[in-house]
Amino acid sequence: MARLQILEYPDPRLRTRAKPVEVFDAALSRQVEDMFETMYAAPGIGLAATQVDYHKRLIVMDVSEDKRQPQVFINPEILTAEGTGTGEEGCLSVPGIFDEVKRAARIRARAQDATGKVFETDLDGLAAVCLQHEMDHLEGKLFVDYLSDLKRERIRKKLDKDRKERASKAATASAARAY
């Protein structure tokens, strides 16, 4: 298994619309394993393939407390959606930012597992929110798109500043090791 690099907003590759998975082979299984490793290490509760620059309709999730309930959604579709709820969301591609987003409260979804087998599942609470958030990623959409232009601009600037700070810290660290 390998840890993958997670793209960060405003990387334009996050705007790519993912294509359906058509071949369920060993390479796909490896991609699923690598995405789980990346998600758990981050740590996160969900990861869409788009976020690791793999533009196929593939999502991994684990919203359980003990992190032992991995779920894979390949070529997911929402069959029915009911109610609305607003919760605070975050995203591994928008690190350190959390804001309120309105989503359907309960959904019925159909997807395929890593072997291609079709299944249907009813989701509510965090799982329903998470799947909707991840499915947006597959369309090239981010949760910050639901916020105001002003907020989004502030977030972009903050992330840019954070990245520059990280880079200068890394430069200082490597200079300290250079004799």
Residues classed as catalytic:
134
Nearer to Ni ion, 102 or 169 (CB): 102
Neighbours of 96 (CB within 10 A): 9
Distance of closest approach, residue 137 Cβ to Ni ion, in angstroms: 6
Please report whether residue 129 would count as binding Ni ion according to CB under 5 A. no
Count of residues for the chain? 179
Partners of 123 in the β-ladder: 107
| Alpha carbon 3 to chain centroid, angstroms | 14
What is the contact mask toward Ni ion in residues 82 to 121, using x (rule: CB under 5 A)?
Answer: ---------x------------------------------
Nearer to Ni ion, 24 or 156 (CB): 156
Nearer to Ni ion, 95 or 116 (CB): 95
Nearer to Ni ion, 28 or 91 (CB): 91
Distance of closest approach, residue 90 Cβ to Ni ion, in angstroms: 8
The identity of residue 24, as a single letter, is F
DSSP-based three-state secondary structure for 8 = coil
Binding-site size, Ni ion (CB under 5 A): 1
Please report whether residue 144 would count as binding Ni ion according to CB under 5 A. no
Please report whether residue 45 would count as binding Ni ion according to CB under 5 A. no
Distance of closest approach, residue 62 Cβ to Ni ion, in angstroms: 14
DSSP-based three-state secondary structure for 72 = strand
Residue 131 φ/ψ, nearest 5 degrees: -65, -40
Of residues 56 through 75, those in contact with Ni ion by CB under 5 A are none
Report whether 62 contacts 69 (CB < 8 A): yes
Query: Of 92, 23, 93, 91, which is closest to residue 58 (Cα–Cα)?
Result: 23
Residues near Ni ion, by CB under 5 A: 91
